[in-house]
Structure 1
Amino acid sequence: VETMKFLHFSVIFWIIVGALQSDGEILDENIIGDNVYIIQFTKFHLVPSMESYITRALQEEQDQIDVSMKCSCKSPHSRFHFRIKTCLNYCSWCIISRPLPSHQLSNTITLTSDFILIAITQSEQAQILDKLRGIHNDDEFDLKIKYIVPDSFVTRAPLSFDSQLSPMQSDSETESTNEKLFGARKLWKSGYFGQNVRVAVFDSGLGPHFGGILNIIDRTSWSGQFKESESNAKNRASQASLLDDSVGHGTFVAGMIAGANQHCPGLAPLAEIVSIKVFSDAQTSFTSWFLDAFNYALQLNVDVLNLSIGGPDYNDMPFVDKIHELTESGVIIVSAIGNDGEKWCSANNPADMLDVIGVGGVERDGHVSSFSSRGMTTQELSFRSPFATGRVKPDVVIYSRNLEAASHKSENGCQVLSGTSAACPVVSGMIALLLSAFPKEIRSDFINPSTVKRALLGGSSRLQNASMFE
């Protein structure tokens, strides 16, 4: 186990590189999980091309029914549950066009995808799934199906506890608790504030006061929540409210990375934050929500992706493959290891993955936090090889109890959180600070997930009296 000391890390880094809303619609896992499937393709395509490809292949199943009218759930103003149920009253299957989020960059980004959703009646699922798996590749348009899997209700969740509103007051000239713990002020004095580094935060959204964050590039929600409205203006306001964080977790995480609140500042106050909501207000989520969010993050060219979430979902292959796709594209993914300690083999996914920086918790006396999940990882053990062994995880541990960051309840308020979820954005903030020392135009020559992980490990100190799996 490695515990991070910020100044040691920064020195080694230089050496290595130099060398539920009440009036909103919330998807029900019982409705979705039993009927809806993800059809994932090997490449990105325009959504209409994928829909037409599947529709042509299945059209004969509809027996004279007008497919375009009754077997495609496309109305963005109708409630999602109603659309699925209505479609399946007429058809044995229907393609679902997902409602698009409101976001600032919608006019500059082509929202292609590599998957579509299809709802299938339970009585004919086996027959239609067999037909889908037998579809021939479309060589003309290079359409090839990779996975056909249920759009699962995922067990990933925000990983924190012991939350409380803390109305702290402090003098701006006095170091905050975060500054004392992590030493960021030394890099601030050198002119490094996380500028020109884009960090995506996948979480519960961002509070209406934005956590004191200065550079919010985009706020968007892929959480499947949306509202109906009588007018476009009202609809825009209504949709915007669904971007808000009613839980407080996402605001804390984003604030720890880039908050400028003088009472509880983040580590990289000039970092560019992309807030991506992937949980409903009831903290539920589905695989498809994450896939959409990952694709969107790729299109926004984020540098760092913070996932203060986790769960035992390493067999969710579309999710796992998408993580690999992002890291292969150069995105540095930082994820919380989980709060299931003190149990061996309790490391959460995706922090248990080799190309993800898994973050655990340590107390201020140097002992691993009792709640922090441990290795070894169990993903390899699922291959049933008699010689399979898990990997060493987490990669690093850092202070994780009673940390302070922005609150979603007030403009200048702070809240206190404990958990690996709170530790994870500390590491993301550190990475943002260090990346900002490199001009953006040459950064990719030196920075990738592997070099950053090596820098983290090289700049950390080994804990005494701790197992390598802690």
Structure 2
Amino acid sequence: MRSLATATAALAYVALASIAIGFSDASFHKSVCPPYMDLQIHDEFIVTFTKYDNLRNLESSLDVLVASYPVPLSSSSSLHRRAIKINHDVPTDFVVWTLFDWSPLSVIHWLGLQPGVKSIVRNRRLHLTSLNTQPASPQEDDTMPTSATWNYMEAWDMAQLRAQNITGHGVKVAIFDTGLDPDSARRHFRHVDDIINWTDEPVLRDSDGHGSFVAGVVGSVHRACPGIAPDASLVSFRVFTTSSASYTSWLLDALNYAMYLGVDVLNFSFGGPDFHDAPFMDKIHECAASGIVVMSAVGNGGPQYGTLTNPADQIDVFGIGGLGSTPSTIAPFSARGQSLWEIATGYGRVKPDAVAPATFVKGLYPGGDKCRMMNGTSMAAPLATGMVALVLSQIPSIERKRFGHVGFVKGVFLQTARRLPSIWNATMRSTEAGNTWQHIYEQGAGSLDVNAALAALPLAMAAPTAVLLPSSLNLTDCPYMWPHCLQPLYHTRLPLTINITMFHPTALTSQLVGAPKWTPSSADSDILSIQTFPGSEMFWPYSGAIGVHIRVTRPVLRRMTVSGRLTLFISDSPPVELYIEVPVIPAPPPRQRVLWDQYRNLQYPSGYIPRDNLHQHTDPFDTQGDHAHTNFGDFFHRLVVQHKLYVEVLTTDYSCVDDLSVYGLLLVVDPEEPWFPTEVALVHAAMRSSDLSVFVIADWYSPTVLTSMSFWDANTLSTWLPVTGGANIPAINTLLAAFRIRLSHRAWSNPGIMYLSGSAIVDLPDLGFVMWANLTQDSTGPTGLSPRRIASFESVKSANNAAVPPNDSQKMAVAALVPLQGANAGRVVVYGDSSCVDSSIAASSDAKATCEGWIDGLIEYALRGKLPEGVEAVNNLHVREDVDHDAADIRAQTLLAKYSKVLGHAPACPNVAFG
């Protein structure tokens, strides 16, 4: 079942396209469709069975089960499955079932336990609001606008492919979208097998035009905007209504029918951030296992990292990113990786898989003879779909079952993709316009090359071999291998973990056979220890993830480069070699080493993790992972490049760290998880005797605000509250209690210093230092954020004993700097808000410069004891808050316990001794 509420404020599916034409590169990311759509709930359930049957038989089976329930029920089958009821002999595996309000809700749990029932989940109504943008002006000719510098149809020499009869003949392509205009289907396509309406509307028209455009990119024969595969057989699946609404059940019905028809390729140009949506994800896996190559746009959330949408982020889906206005640049709006599934305990996978044109893509204007241009990864996906159709058409029908699946097809395209140039500029930000890094989590294997894929096809079929992404781990290749290439390895460093994705050319299921073999290039290469950990015992369907852990086994006296080949033995495939090249240096001193606590972060969609910036109304959830290499990537980059620090990302609790004394700084950014008592003891011991400093970058926490963010969850039929605030302030206060430091249980802001919904320091001991700022308290309501007066606020006593008046704007401590006593003692640094280090949050250049200067000064103080400018000594700072902290702390633990890796659990390495 879905693990998160589907409410009006929740996130869902997005059409990954934009319409407007005539803007510059710098404005592309502003013109693509907004990334979210609203959700509305209907009182229906999807009852999934363990076997397929026709709908009437499954409904009868459900009726028998319901009749055996000891309490009479008022229920019925849904009327929202118009298409499947018309085609009643098409096999299905679920029934849409309505349970009326007066029926007992306990039947839901009971029904899920009955024999033959796989699951029961809420049927969601989805509204695709992002399709309501105005279309671009139609064009009657085939000229490109002056701001576009290339024509992908000419670059791919499509005329030559057509002359060779490489046109997609014999390949069936399904387009899941807003439909296909019937008039356009008759006049501008050769092979539209069917237009199937899966909605409850008795119409076929594509009122939005998005689906017609996407279909045209694949298979149009219009002179001015021809498709890639004009002889492919198209099936248009209309899964959104004229009001851009859909149901989960419509998508599942359509996917079942696609398998029933024997579709070869399926195109999604929409997606959503929820990778815990089990029924939908399971159906995508099933499609891939049945031999359908599922193509999906990765989204338009760029240039931010961690913005991939589902299903493009699934391992068995071909996730397509977007090129910009030239064939060698990535579109700024194209969503970036890594995938977020794995970051709670490891590292994400490389996504997008590859990129295709997404700027000035030409397609059909619905209901006429004209063409238009659109931008977005929605456009890149059908271009890639057309390429896949061309390649599949060249596989003999007798071999199609063996090779016509995502494992083989993706492998061929990844091996032949043209890597985009990666140009290093150390001072550039990851999200900066004109960024030239174009690393692997932005471009994947590179730009798809249909001609190279066609040329490689005969050999790939003659000698099928598993394909890896990335194909090598050359950490001297910078910036393509960013962020892994930023830092060399050294003895005592945490193992470097990189996720490798494997695509099998022939086997639906496969596995690693025996231990991989490491063959060093020289005698020095024995200093590396290479371990692999498969994501699961069995790889399925046609793909799998393999974690590679690289560790330096002994000290070195000089900088060197170590290389070798790791041979992986995969069932039903020849051995596969992974080239590894790693720079190794002598271990840096503790004052240059930072341990970044990633373990403390929780991510949506595991639970209701609220947004960090309460001023941001478009996104209710914390969706980008809060990882050192996603929305905190610019901060990580600055630590390494500007401060010349060596940052190690920890994904376990502290009990598994061999020796905290080798680090000069423990960095905790925006934590949601608490600490084990053992961890607190370990950290305090290292702080008092090993010169370890701790820098906590917090965020807001307010019981009042949390209560105002509640909503009714139709899945659990209960009111949902955020599991914690922007950060877990009660847990931070517990960690720092021994040093008499406490943060506020309210939310505070000052946009002028990029302090957006943070906490503030309300208790500090003697000998402490603070940075002051004027802050306004935040609150939320039905209309969003508003400042309000604080009636319970008494006064703030600073070093000169001056009282701060209780006005809307309060003088508050935003940073605390506390030196510990002792010859080998470290320091405690606290900053109340994470906005400054979060690249997903926008602010003025002046505000960002101010707060980044403060953060830089706090880093220097934590590591070297140098007080930054603007700090003041305080004498026993105390701010009284009218908050029941004990009650707030208990509430925080109660809500968090369901999702926590700490509460109710034991440390991962409990036998670590500490003093």
Q: Give the TM-score, by structure 1 length.
A: 0.76
1:136-184 Cα deviation digits (max 9, x unpaired): x2xxxxxx1111000123477878978413222259xxxx945224332
Contact 2:128/2:244 (CA < 8 Å) preserved in 1? no
- Could you say which structure has the greater relative contact order, defined with CA pairs below 8 angstroms and 6 or more residues apart? 1
User: How many residues are paired up?
Assistant: 381
For structure 2, the 5+ residue unaligned runs are: 1-37, 144-149, 423-436, 443-915
1:2-43 Cα deviation digits (max 9, x unpaired): xxxxxxxxxxxxxxxxxxxxxxxxxx964xx34100001122
1:316-373 Cα deviation digits (max 9, x unpaired): 1110000000110110011000011111110000000001000011113322211111
- The match for 2:46 among 14, 19, 38 is 38
1:75-96 Cα deviation digits (max 9, x unpaired): xxxxxxxxxxxxxxxx632222
Cα 1:445–1:53 change in 2 (3 A) is: closer
User: Could you tell me which residue of structure 2 aligns to residue 190 of structure 1?
Assistant: 164
**Per-residue deviation, 1:47:** 1.6
User: Could you tell me which residue of structure 2 aligns to residue 305 of structure 1?
Assistant: 266
In structure 2, C-alpha distance between the alignment counterparts of 1:403 and 1:424, rounded to whole Å? 11
- The match for 1:152 among 108, 121, 124 is 124
Contact 1:159/1:420 (CA < 8 Å) preserved in 2? no
In structure 2, C-alpha distance between the alignment counterparts of 1:304 and 1:371, rounded to whole Å? 25
For structure 1, the 5+ residue unaligned runs are: 1-27, 65-90, 138-143, 226-238
User: Could you tell me which residue of structure 2 aligns to residue 129 of structure 1?
Assistant: 108
Cα 1:157–1:450 change in 2 (3 A) is: farther
Contact 1:161/1:417 (CA < 8 Å) preserved in 2? no
Contact 1:160/1:339 (CA < 8 Å) preserved in 2? no
1:112-143 Cα deviation digits (max 9, x unpaired): 210001111345352221331232x2xxxxxx
User: Could you tell me which residue of structure 2 aligns to residue 434 of structure 1?
Assistant: 391
Cα 1:158–1:358 change in 2 (3 A) is: farther
Cα 1:392–1:161 change in 2 (3 A) is: farther
Output the amino acid matched with 1:370. P
1:9-88 pair list within 5 angstroms = 30=40, 33-59=41-67
1:415 aligned to 2:372? Answer: yes
Percent sequence identity over matched residues?
33
**Per-residue deviation, 1:466:** 1.4
- The match for 1:100 among 75, 79, 82 is 82
1:104-253 pair list within 5 angstroms = 110-135=89-114, 137=115, 144-154=116-126, 163-169=135-141, 177-211=151-185, 212-225=188-201, 239=202, 242-253=203-214
Find the residue that maps to 2:440 and give its secondary structure.
Answer: coil
Find the residue that maps to 1:444 and give its secondary structure.
Answer: helix
Output the amino acid matched with 2:113. G
In structure 1, C-alpha distance between the alignment counterparts of 2:181 and 2:171, rounded to whole Å? 22
Cα 1:328–1:40 change in 2 (3 A) is: same
Output the amino acid matched with 2:48. Q
In structure 1, C-alpha distance between the alignment counterparts of 2:257 and 2:196, rounded to whole Å? 10
Output the amino acid matched with 2:411. R
Find the residue that maps to 2:418 and give its secondary structure.
Answer: strand
In structure 2, C-alpha distance between the alignment counterparts of 1:358 and 1:307, rounded to whole Å? 10
In structure 2, C-alpha distance between the alignment counterparts of 1:420 and 1:46, rounded to whole Å? 37
In structure 1, C-alpha distance between the alignment counterparts of 2:342 and 2:242, rounded to whole Å? 34
User: Could you tell me which residue of structure 2 aligns to residue 399 of structure 1?
Assistant: 357
Find the residue that maps to 1:380 and give its secondary structure.
Answer: coil
1:403-458 Cα deviation digits (max 9, x unpaired): 10111130x21111100001110001011112112232332233321111111111
User: Could you tell me which residue of structure 2 aligns to residue 444 of structure 1?
Assistant: 401
Cα 1:128–1:250 change in 2 (3 A) is: same
**Higher helix residue share:** 1
1:270 aligned to 2:226? Answer: no
**Per-residue deviation, 1:278:** 0.8
Q: Which sits farther off after the overlay, 183-192 or 247-256?
A: 183-192
User: Could you tell me which residue of structure 2 aligns to residue 333 of structure 1?
Assistant: 294
**Per-residue deviation, 1:285:** 1.7
Cα 1:160–1:92 change in 2 (3 A) is: closer
Contact 2:139/2:371 (CA < 8 Å) preserved in 1? yes
Output the amino acid matched with 1:96. S
**Per-residue deviation, 1:102:** 9.2
**Per-residue deviation, 1:210:** 2.5
CA RMSD of aligned residues (A): 2.6
Task: State which structure, 1 or 2, has the greater radius of gyration over its C-alpha atoms.
Answer: 2
Find the residue that maps to 2:325 and give its secondary structure.
Answer: coil
**Per-residue deviation, 1:468:** 1.5
Output the amino acid matched with 1:101. A
1:345 aligned to 2:306? Answer: yes
In structure 2, C-alpha distance between the alignment counterparts of 1:42 and 1:318, rounded to whole Å? 12
Find the residue that maps to 1:152 and give its secondary structure.
Answer: strand
In structure 2, C-alpha distance between the alignment counterparts of 1:339 and 1:428, rounded to whole Å? 18
Cα 1:439–1:309 change in 2 (3 A) is: same
In structure 1, C-alpha distance between the alignment counterparts of 2:259 and 2:209, rounded to whole Å? 25
Q: Give the TM-score, by structure 2 length.
A: 0.40
In structure 1, C-alpha distance between the alignment counterparts of 2:129 and 2:280, rounded to whole Å? 15
In structure 1, C-alpha distance between the alignment counterparts of 2:177 and 2:57, rounded to whole Å? 31
In structure 2, C-alpha distance between the alignment counterparts of 1:415 and 1:170, rounded to whole Å? 10
In structure 2, C-alpha distance between the alignment counterparts of 1:126 and 1:328, rounded to whole Å? 35
- The match for 1:320 among 258, 276, 281 is 281
In structure 2, C-alpha distance between the alignment counterparts of 1:117 and 1:163, rounded to whole Å? 35
User: Could you tell me which residue of structure 2 aligns to residue 258 of structure 1?
Assistant: 219
Cα 1:170–1:54 change in 2 (3 A) is: closer
In structure 2, C-alpha distance between the alignment counterparts of 1:177 and 1:267, rounded to whole Å? 13
In structure 1, C-alpha distance between the alignment counterparts of 2:233 and 2:386, rounded to whole Å? 11
Contact 2:267/2:381 (CA < 8 Å) preserved in 1? yes
- The match for 1:355 among 316, 323, 343 is 316
In structure 1, C-alpha distance between the alignment counterparts of 2:90 and 2:130, rounded to whole Å? 27
Contact 2:131/2:244 (CA < 8 Å) preserved in 1? no
Contact 2:213/2:366 (CA < 8 Å) preserved in 1? yes
In structure 2, C-alpha distance between the alignment counterparts of 1:44 and 1:62, rounded to whole Å? 27
In structure 2, C-alpha distance between the alignment counterparts of 1:134 and 1:437, rounded to whole Å? 47
1:378 aligned to 2:340? Answer: yes
Contact 2:39/2:127 (CA < 8 Å) preserved in 1? no
User: Could you tell me which residue of structure 1 aligns to residue 331 of structure 2?
Assistant: 369
**Per-residue deviation, 1:61:** 5.5
1:390 aligned to 2:348? Answer: yes
Find the residue that maps to 1:101 and give its secondary structure.
Answer: helix
- The match for 1:456 among 407, 413, 423 is 413
Cα 1:402–1:166 change in 2 (3 A) is: same
Find the residue that maps to 1:280 and give its secondary structure.
Answer: coil
Output the amino acid matched with 1:216. V
Output the amino acid matched with 1:394. P
In structure 1, C-alpha distance between the alignment counterparts of 2:322 and 2:134, rounded to whole Å? 14
Contact 1:159/1:310 (CA < 8 Å) preserved in 2? no
User: Could you tell me which residue of structure 1 aligns to residue 603 of structure 2?
Assistant: none
